Amino acid sequence: MLRLRSSALRSAAALISPSAAAQSETSLLAAPCVRLSTGPQQERKTFYEFRTYCVRPDQNAAFLKLTNEKIHLRTAHSELIGYWSVEYGGLNQVFHIWKYDSYAQRAAVRAALARDPSWVSEYLASMLPMLNSQENEVVYLVPWSSLHNPPQQGGVYELVSYQMRPGGPAVWGGAFQAALTAHDAPGYAKLLGAFHSEFGQLNRVHALWWFENADQRAEQRQKAHTDARVVAAVRNSFVNLDSQKNKLMFPCPFSPMK
């Protein structure tokens, strides 16, 4: 194979000068393979499933009551990170995060749930008619982020979802990290995790924040707007942003993260 490749190179080299031909052959043989990647390779196997349910308005209270009573049937199969009711930015919605160590584990969990008579009869049969829609998304923590617990129980959570322009972290990763840490480091908000999408809407990143209460969030946000360092970091990230959506959420009584 190498002999044929070298022969072809020498044939092509006959059309140019000897010195240029030798230089061209050396460059082609030494050229590295191009990586079709726009950012760091995903090294973590652990991923998270974001699930958003839109509940029928007349069934919202009944849905939360049923889930509070029967969630143990679901958590017997895999780890629940958090379960929230959306207060602002999406009425009659719940948002929950599930953790998986592999896609094989998730497939096994889904198969086990389908065979679990208690889950199917006591929860699923009653819950599904209460919903208008379901949406799921598979996400990974960005390389520089870890998942944290809130500093104390209680408080409110904000999920901020950013739709970035195509190009990947190689284009906008640094600016995005700077914008988030500019809020987190001085204490304007507590960052619990930053995620990027793998399945669902691509080029989407999420930040999960914690605040003591909604009024504290408003106060800290106002302070951040007067911080020149934060303003500069956000401005640099803004050029890579197509759209943004915020949800303010309250943890359900059965949520591990609360």
Please check the confidence at residue 19 and state whether its pLDDT lies above 70: no
Separation in Å, CA 25 to CA 9, 21, 34, 35, 125: 6, 6, 18, 22, 68
Q: What's the confidence (pLDDT) of residue 42? A: 53
| Maximum mean pLDDT: which of 125-129, 140-144, 228-232 | 125-129
**pLDDT tens track for 29-63:** 443 333 333 344 456 799 999 999 999 999 999 99
**41-50, 71-80, 130-139: segment of lowest average pLDDT:** 41-50
Distance CA 23, CA 17 (A): 10
Provide the token pair at 41.
């390779």
pLDDT tens digits along 194-234: 999 999 999 999 999 999 999 999 999 999 999 999 999 98
Mean pLDDT, residues 139-157 = 94
Q: Does the structure show a pLDDT above 80 at 14? A: no
Query: In the prediction, which pLDDT does 33 show?
Result: 36
As a whole number, the mean pLDDT across the chain is 86
In this structure, the strands spanning 156-164 and 190-199 are unpaired
Give the residue extent of every domain in the chain. Answer: 47-251
**pLDDT tens per residue, range 178-204:** 999 999 988 899 999 999 999 999 999
Give the tokens for residue 141.
């923590």
Q: Residue 24 pLDDT > 90, yes or no?
A: no
The pLDDT of residue 249 is above 90: yes
Fold classification of 47-251 is Alpha-Beta Plaits (3.30.70)
pLDDT at 12: 41
